[in-house]
Amino acid sequence: MGVVGLTRVLAQEGAEHGIRVNAIAPVARSHMAGDVYGRLDAKVPPELVAAVVLALAHPSCAVTGEVVSAGGGRMSRVVVGVTDGYFSPTLDDDEASAQLSAVCSKQVPVSLPDCAMTEIDLIRRCFPDLAEFPMQPR
């Protein structure tokens, strides 16, 4: 998440100077990947990731602040989602431990915040006394 946040912040700060910033989530055979891809290994040469890197670096590219998955001739936008989660104004480690499985359940709906401030606003909404102070997207 540090790379995602850094990518988005640098893209926002660089925009006024015409600087675009993106991150790549590569899927390619390499010494580091070892045999993790198995029979797919021959289908994921690094050149197919490089093609996406070159496209993102081209002066005509308008994409910025994104994480792009690239591998095997496929590319896609990587998104981060959040669930409604769990709230307790006195959350402690025992309560967090008891609720963590439910919070991380794959059976709950996911929403896609458009920026970090949208997710922070989900925290703000847990406090009724802050109803008049919504977080502003940046």
| pTM attached to this predicted model | 0.76
Give the burial string for 23-35 (b: 16+ CB within 10 Å, else e). bbebbbbeeeeee
User: Do residues 123 and 60 share a domain?
Assistant: no
59 and 87, same structural domain? no
Domain shared by 8 and 40, yes or no: yes
Same domain flag for 90 and 57: no
pLDDT reading at 23 higher than 80: yes
Domain with 47, as residue range(s), is 2-78
Mark whether 63 and 128 lie in a shared domain: no
Instruction: Examine the domain organization and report whether 25 and 72 are in the same domain.
Output: yes
Domain end among 50, 78, 106: 78
Q: What is the pLDDT of residue 55?
A: 97
Q: How many domains does the chain have?
A: 2
pLDDT tens-digit map of 62-117: 999 999 999 999 999 998 889 989 999 999 999 999 999 999 999 988 988 877 77
| Residue 70: its H or E element | strand 67-71
